[in-house]
Amino acid sequence: MVRVLLATNERSGSGSASSVREVLERHGAQLRVCDVRELDASCEVGDAERLVVAGGDGSLGPAAELAARHGLALGVVPTGTANDFARAAGLPGDVEEAAALAVDADADVRPYELARMDGRPFLNVASAGLSVVAAREAKPLKPRLGALAYGVGAAKAGVLHGPEHARVVVDGVEVHDDEAWQVVVAATGHFGGGSATGGTDPDDRELDVLVVPGGSRLGLARRAVGMKLGRLHAQDDVVHARGREVVVEGPETYNVDGEVCPCGTVSRFGVDDELVRVVVGR
């Protein structure tokens, strides 16, 4: 029997805390349950051998931070709408299968880097520009359209939003100081219901930075295709840099692993030395 700390998010797409708990217990887990929003406050790890998080992409950062700090493997039961991290890691989309894997003591683990924006942990992407508008437009559509809402939101963003000025510095070197449609700081590089930046290595302890320069709105269709194919980094005029410390000046709102977060006019990004071990299969 595996002793498990289960971190849940009742607000994410499917599967309540009680239903996920029942599935985990059927697979032999001895559980304590904590709300993912309380992981840094009142939730103690105790004698847990594994941390399991049930939620969407926005729930994963705090759980991964706690797991890495205590040297625990992190099991992921995707119950959100897009579940981009689970998709990228090849995890089961079915709650029953994902729960069984999460508490399998013999399952393999893979290391992933833990990125931060102004101290806030994330595993996939923090981005400014079009993705913020896309997330806002998609939010009311998710109950009806599921992951397809992100595509609709992105299409609306391309019509409603213009480029904004951004200055981007990576490891002390300025890589962009001009208008930009989007600035992306990536760990895994997966976001938006199946899109990806491409070109990332999720355990190299470096952040990938991509800047889509301002220009014609007509060119956004090519950007969308590039993201769906995971080839945005390969487009000739897209800035692609890699480093451990990133400073972005200008944008005041970011989409961080699917959560829209207001910030100041200067945001600082980094990556932890400690990797988080994620349960990925056999």
What do you get for the CA distance between the two ends of the chain, in Å? 19
d(CA 199, CA 194) in angstroms, rounded, equals 15
Contact 209, 180 (CB under 8 A): no
Q: Please, which residues bridge with residue 253 across strands?
A: 262
- Told to judge if 252 belongs to the known catalytic residues of this protein, a careful annotator would answer no
Question: For residue 90, with 0-12 CB atoms within 10 Å meaning exposed, 13-18 middle and 19 or more buried, which class applies?
Answer: exposed
d(CA 192, CA 213) in angstroms, rounded, equals 20
Marked catalytic residue, from 10, 49, 259, 274 = 259
d(CA 10, CA 20) in angstroms, rounded, equals 11
d(CA 150, CA 131) in angstroms, rounded, equals 9
For 2, 25, 120, 142, 252, the CA distances from 30, given in Å and listed in that order, are 6, 7, 30, 33, 43
Contact 14, 78 (CB under 8 A): no
Tell me the three state secondary structure of residue 35: strand
d(CA 224, CA 209) in angstroms, rounded, equals 17
Catalytic residues: 259
